A and B are shown apart, each in its own frame.
Chain A
Amino acid sequence: MPSLHLNNLTKRFSQHTALHELSLTVQEGEIFTLLGPSGCGKSTTLWSIAGLHHPDSGSIAFGDHVVFDHGRVDIEPEHRNCGVVFQSYAIWPHMSVAANVGYPLKLRKTARAQREQRVREVLDLVELGDHATAYPHQLSGGQQQRVALARALAHPPDMLLLDEPFSNLDAKLRDRSRQWLKNLQSQVGVTTVFVTHDQDEALSVSDRVAVMNQGRVHQVGTPDEIYEHPADLFVADFVGTANILSATVTQADGTHALLRVDGLDQPLRVPHTDRRLGRVRVCIRPESIDIHRRTSTGAAPPDTLTVNVENRAYLGDHYRYTVRIGATPVTVTTTRPVSDGELTISLPPGDIRVFPEETPSAVLGETPSNEENPHASVR
């Protein structure tokens, strides 16, 4: 299985630029996810890899094999040996399941017996062995999706490309399918590029994730790197929920900084690698904020802040409260309810991430988080 190298891909449409000099490397055998809001260029990237879109500049290589180099090489999609699962599945309605899956093998002039053998093998792999003679309209959405996957794996491909394959499934099935895909991929070991706008999906399925916005890659990393150490405000805000507050760095030594968060009396000493002083934006996850429950003495512990609860919501497995720190709305989540109208909270310094005030490329990330749904502005 080859690795995949995208080098300085640019694609302009008449109105906007879909890809800005995009460069990425996907290691062999890994599941690599392109995550971002709609219109961020993730699908354009995928179609460029498949050969269905043609970037205006840059190059694409599968291992050492250059499949696209603007103006010099443009291998037709049929010669790139990719397996693609489309969002719509794109299963041919006039062919049976076996014929759909056998199609790539037929084009490769695989001998009949061998072809049938391989179709059986792949259908068994996706647990559809009993449905070989069925036609697509006789299958459920989840089954159709697996036919699409079986077809994409049949030849077998050098590269598996998945375009939001689970977006048409219901929540439960989607969750099961992710697990199943991850297991299947580790069995097959094919280099996989997965496109999604769903952060849960990206975090649960991927070996590594590239977070994209407006045609640029903001961060590449493992799911926990992306979630725990977002590279900028956009990533922080797009992946998971982030409370974004304004603050001032008053001291910085390259490992830690002394931070005055607007609305908090006490300065906080947080891990920080930059030495510059001045205004910054900080981010903290709702579940990271500590809630201090009333003790019998009634006195609030030091370094805490008591705030009014402005909004509360019960979400089944957790509770969500909206409070304000200074003027900024902040979301706090916990698994144990708080009965009072007030909440005593503190911000654990280790969970605070500091970003420079201006992040020009993270235009969307600068919008203060919205009370009800901090993602509303980017979704």
Chain B
Amino acid sequence: MSTNAGHYLLWALALLVIVGPIVPVVAASLWSTPLYDSGGHLTWDNFHALLTDGSWWSAVGNSVLFAALNTAGSIVVGVACAVLLTRTDVPGRRVLTTLLLIPLALPGLVLIIGWAAMWTPAGFATSWLETHTFLSMPVNLYSVPGMALVGMTVASPTVFLLCRGTLLSIDPALEDAARTLGAGPLRSLLSVSLPLLRPAVTNAALLVFALSMEVLGLPLILGYSSDIGLISTYLYDHWTNDAQQGLVSAGAVFLLVAVSGLLVLRNRLVGDTARFTTTTGKPTGVRVLRMGRVRWLLASVLALFLALFVLVPLAGVVLAAFTSILSPFISPWSVLTLDNFSAVFDNPLYTNSIVNSLLIAGVGGALTTLVIAVLSVIAHRSRFRFRGSLQQGMLWPRMMPALVTGMAFFWSFALLDRSGAIRASLWGIGIAFAVRSLALGYSAFYPALAGIGADLDHAARTSGASWWTAMRTVVFRLVAPAAGASFVLLFVAMLNDAEPAVFLVTDRTPVLGLTMLQLAATSIGGSVAALGVIQMVITLVVLGAGRALLGVRPRA
């Protein structure tokens, strides 16, 4: 009986924290005054104001254009890379794959800062090309296509991972069958395996499109200064500058409906199972397609693009961080300095941000891992009546745009914690980051849990262990490595997360991601690059340790 009571209590708490906060956002969008003020009445005014605002509609148009370009481009690049790097004998596949995946492992902001430092019209690499060669950067980054180009560096590896998993899991006998019937190797690849990729491509396209609708960092850094508004920057601007909270809530409801609609569609079309299978497949069965001499050309082209669009921006961040001024007309070696780092460490805002983020990532990541482990065993190993809703609940945050999550917690704290104590402490942002990362941690944790035969806990039960004891002494021990992997992913995600903090941050709770975002929105100075290098180093160290100790891999 006590087991059951515990289950009900945890279930109610989990749904309250994970799903509950969405209610006040909807309420705020339909209420005439902010929810923390007294009075007010039910109204459509916020939606009316939103739908009659011309800049809202131009933001929607830009967002859709950006998402479409980003999706189309990354599908082409991602699928091509998946085929070339898993099914052909292109030389240097391992190195090229690693280069391609770097943007997924790194904090998103670092790469954008790097692009901004190098490839903007006045950027280091662009100017260098123009002064030293007859070449030039053909795309202006301060435009929607320019932003899409930057977005593709993160979206393409996502597509790559989803398609590679499918390519590796296709039974080679299917292509062998085509070979025995007279198809050449290339033809059997194109006519058998590529069509089998269609579900994976649909899945990836909808996912990338949905994520593109909600990105904030990219348009804030590249579009804001050129007056190119996207939905996310529209919401950000009206929240931070005009304090039109009702209007922003209405916009958030719109964004939520659009993004979750797309993701629901995706689940309908392809199911969510792909997210929970490891992307490693069974490499022994893969047939390698011989490309002849073309392979060298293909490898060179790929290497060139990856160098230009991944390595050059990263070098840009590092250069900007270690020089006093980054300009093609002055040799960077002559202006090397550590001043940017001392500036960071002398500024309490920056040091507080770093410390706060490490606290949230470390303590918050550990607590979130524990919560995920407990909820997962209730969801998958108990006879609890509502276990199905817990499984859905842990995936729900994936449907929520980051900005909406932040706003949801803002309103929830405003309503339930009038004293403001939670928001004044790191718990406010920590809880929002945790909920946002829940699905990521769960998707790392669940396959390991599913891999442990139910007989193992049944054996404990029949030996005399209560349900909790069986979980504690058997299941948790066996999933410990997966919990470690889950912690590593949560640590990195929570260290670098920014968007939900837009609504929750106070003077006393700055966090690394948001501080960098706010700084980068106004200038690409040496300090933001230095912060980027610090963020990158912490991320790589943690991921590297995770990979060495626990086999953590980047996830789509």
Contact = CB atoms under 8 A, between A and B. Distances in A.
Contact of A151 (B463, B469, B478): B463
B458 A155 contact: no
B421 to A, nearest CB: 41
Contacts of B477: 92, 94
Contact of A92 (B459, B462, B467): B459
B213 to A, nearest CB: 39
A103 interface: yes
B537 interface: no
B138 interface: no
Interface in A42-100: 50-52, 76-84, 86-94
Q: Which 8 A-B pairs have the closest CB atoms?
A: A90-B455, A90-B459, A104-B463, A77-B461, A84-B462, A107-B464, A86-B455, A78-B464
Contacts of B478: 92-94
Contacts of B283: none
Given A92-B474, A94-B477, A94-B478, A52 B458 contact: yes
Contact of B466 (A52, A76, A94, A103): A76
**Most chain A CB inside 10 Å of its own CB: which residue of B465, B470, B477:** B465
Nearest to A108: B464
Given A93-B478, A107-B469, A78 B453 contact: no
25 contacts: A76-B461, A77-B462, A78-B464, A78-B469, A79-B464, A81-B464, A84-B458, A84-B459, A84-B462, A86-B455, A86-B458, A88-B453, A89-B455, A90-B455, A92-B456, A92-B460, A93-B478, A103-B460, A103-B473, A107-B463, A107-B465, A107-B469, A108-B464, A148-B459, A151-B463
B471 to A, nearest CB: 12
A82 B462 contact: yes
Given A92-B456, A93-B478, A103-B473, A52 B462 contact: yes
A331 to B, nearest CB: 39
Contacts of B456: 90, 92
Interface string B508-539: 00000000000000000000000000000000
Interface in B444-461: 453, 455-456, 458-461
A80 B462 contact: yes
A78 B464 CA distance: 4
B473 A78 contact: no
Query: Which applies to chain B's interface (DSSP): helix, strand, loop or mixed?
Result: helix
A90 B461 CA distance: 12
A67 to B, nearest CB: 12
B494 to A, nearest CB: 29
Given A77-B458, A103-B473, A107-B469, A90 B464 contact: no
Nearest to B459: A90
A51 B461 contact: yes
Contacts of A84: 458-459, 462
Interface in A99-148: 103-104, 107-108, 148
Interface in A333-350: none
Contact of A86 (B459, B464, B467): B459
Interface in B236-283: none
A90 B473 contact: no
B466 A51 contact: no
Nearest to B462: A84
Interface string B470-495: 10011001100000000000000000
A22 to B, nearest CB: 21
A230 B477 CA distance: 49
Nearest to B473: A103
Nearest to B457: A90
A225 B537 CA distance: 77
Contact of B462 (A50, A87, A88, A89): A50
B458 A78 contact: no
Contacts of B459: 84, 86, 90-92, 148, 151
A83 B464 CA distance: 9
A82 to B, nearest CB: 5
Interface in A21-40: none
Interface in A167-184: none
Contacts of B465: 78, 103, 107
A155 B462 contact: no
A161 B460 CA distance: 14
Nearest to B478: A94
Contacts of B461: 51-52, 76-78
A107 B462 CA distance: 11
A76 B470 CA distance: 13
Given A78-B469, A93-B478, 8 more contacts: A50-B458, A52-B458, A78-B465, A80-B462, A92-B459, A103-B460, A108-B464, A155-B463
A161 B455 CA distance: 14
A76 B466 CA distance: 8
A78 B474 contact: no
**Most chain A CB inside 10 Å of its own CB: which residue of B459, B473, B477:** B459
A93 B477 CA distance: 10
Contacts of A155: 463-464
B96 to A, nearest CB: 37
Contacts of A161: 462
Given A93-B478, A94-B478, A104 B455 contact: no
Given A93-B478, A94-B478, A83 B462 contact: yes
A366 B302 CA distance: 68
Nearest to B1: A76
Contacts of A77: 458, 461-462
A83 B473 CA distance: 18
A81 B458 CA distance: 13
A87 to B, nearest CB: 8
A245 B201 CA distance: 60
A55 to B, nearest CB: 14
Contacts of A108: 464
Interface string B364-401: 00000000000000000000000000000000000000
Contacts of A151: 459, 463
B366 to A, nearest CB: 21
Contacts of B466: 76, 78
A45 to B, nearest CB: 15
A101 to B, nearest CB: 10
A262 to B, nearest CB: 49
B277 to A, nearest CB: 23
Contacts of A104: 463-464
A363 B467 CA distance: 41
B453 to A, nearest CB: 6
A155 to B, nearest CB: 7
Contacts of B469: 78, 107
A246 B487 CA distance: 70
A92 B453 CA distance: 10
A87 B463 CA distance: 16
Contacts of B463: 78, 83, 103-104, 107, 151, 155
Nearest to A94: B477
Nearest to A79: B464
Nearest to B474: A92
**Most chain B CB inside 10 Å of its own CB: which residue of A78, A79, A108:** A78
A93 B458 CA distance: 14
